[in-house]
Amino acid sequence: MPDRNFSKHHARRWIRILSALSCSIAGMAVLQANAFDFNDVSSQAQSLAQERYDAPAHSLSSSLSALDYTHYRDIHFKNEYALWHGQGLPFELGFYPEGMVYDTPVEVNEVTGDQVHALTYAPEQFDWSANASLKPEELASLGYAGFEVRYGLGDGQRHPVMAFLGASYFRAIGENQHFGVTGRSVAIDTGLSSGEQMPQFKRFWVVKPSPGDRYLIIYALLDSPSVTGAYRFVLRPGEDSIVDVQSRLFMRDKVNKLGIAPLASMFYYGSAQPSNRDNFRPAMHTSDGLLVRDDKDDWTWQPLLNPRRLNINDYEMPRLAGFGLMQRDHDFSHYQDVDERYDQRPSVWVEPTQNWGAGKVQLIQIPSPDETNDNVVAFWQPQTLPSKGQSYDFNYRMTFTSNEPRLYSNQLAWVDSTRRSEGEVKQGDTSRKNDGTVAYIVDFRGDNLKSLSAQSVVTADVLPSDNVEVVSADVARQPVIDGYRLTLKLRVKDASKSQDVRAFIKDGTGHRLSETWRLLKTSDA
């Protein structure tokens, strides 16, 4: 069963939150060919787009709708009913029943060679003993709400490595990881005061693997009032799990905003924004920053925040090289949570495998009173708004990793951590006194920094917006990580206005040594 956040952050929750705020497939040629393929799903999506939207029916009993997360989680799919169980294949499929907020059944089909057949739900496939009050007739009328892919990672035991559950949400993990960032098919009107639209995967096809396969192919049909779509997911689980996504969208109607490859995560508090309440956990988040790379190999890191009010930031560029919601900090001592294991949540990096054209990465951060809300969303927004009746292809690769440095440029250091503090000065008696500034302590690390001698001159370029005064920017060796520490002291002129500060470190010749660290806030109000 996916973790608490995956079960709670479903389509309707996003609608409630945002309304309340008012506000390629390169490398796949070697994969096996089947009689059923992406073009079949695309044909269905195209035909569906020419029809009137038919909203799915919701018919759960009051008892099933009233299940809370704990009771829904206690419904277990029995292993002996797993698809391909005992057949000596590398993958198995387990299923989730309708219940709680998952009140829309999905159709799941198996593709074997040139044969396609639907999989059938049955109550006896599940252990309902923790919900003994549910009546047999209630259970008999249900269907599948979603499914999980199981695979042997590390210890050889089969564990869930990918899951589809709710609207068009999906997650994947690699070895020694816990489910964290959530992927989604497409974001429509997200962050607008009109409220967002939640497309749903209504039908899946899973291709039966061969015994030697180390990948699994999954097709999905998307439906919504404004958009239909065909999707092909190729999952390659491992130490880092890779998901290659091929998508084709058909515009049934116009939209005001389209987000491609959307990612959702949670940031409650952390070193860049400490908690204002007593808590033995130093940090609670499944991602700690947004990373963006453009086609000029410029890398920007923005630490995440839990803002006081809706915060929307844009990164415009003529061509995207990649973006991701990252969890760079994997030190358990920085979280101290043995249940949620935030230290084992992966980063998710998105790389287009075709030219998406001009547009922007948009980061939306939503105020959250606790850790149960996925309050961070990031996606690519094309510069040109799609037209009704047109189709669009967006192909990309998603990497789920806890080894983030493998993704970075080896020519640049990266931000290892960001810590916020009161600015201070030392007194004559060595005591420290608040000097009225806000300090950000930014540690950079990277192989290029290790080669610098003790005599090397390293300084910072700091570019503030008009509303921010840079009081000081000091760079010193950080010997613990064999990197450098930038201590920025800032004074905000008007807390009700936006703040934007960019900074990177450079050597004595002016040569850039690091990615850009960026503080970007709508306001402190």
Which mean pLDDT values do the consecutive 10-residue runs of the chain (525 residues) have?
47 40 36 76 98 90 94 96 97 97 96 95 97 94 97 87 97 97 97 92 98 97 98 97 98 96 98 93 98 96 95 96 98 97 98 97 96 96 94 97 92 96 81 89 96 94 97 97 97 93 97 97 74
- The rounded distance, in Å, linking the Cα atoms of 349 and 472 is 34
What is the pTM (predicted TM-score) of this model?
0.91
Written as six digits, the tokens of 26 are 């390169």
Looking up tokens 């950079």 gives 444
Buried b (16+ CB within 10 A) or exposed e, 33-64: ebebebebbbebbeebbeeeeeeeeeebbeeb
DSSP 418: E
State residue 22's pLDDT score.
37
Element (H, E) at 448: helix 447-450
DSSP E strand stretches across 276-346:
284-285, 289-294, 299-303, 311-317, 320-326
Round to the nearest angstrom and report the end-to-end CA distance of the chain: 39
C-alpha neighbours within 13 Å on the C-beta side of residue 128? 18
3-state secondary structure (DSSP) of residue 176: coil
State residue 33's pLDDT score.
52
The answer to whether the CB of 399 falls within 8 A of the CB of 246 is: no
Length of the chain: 525
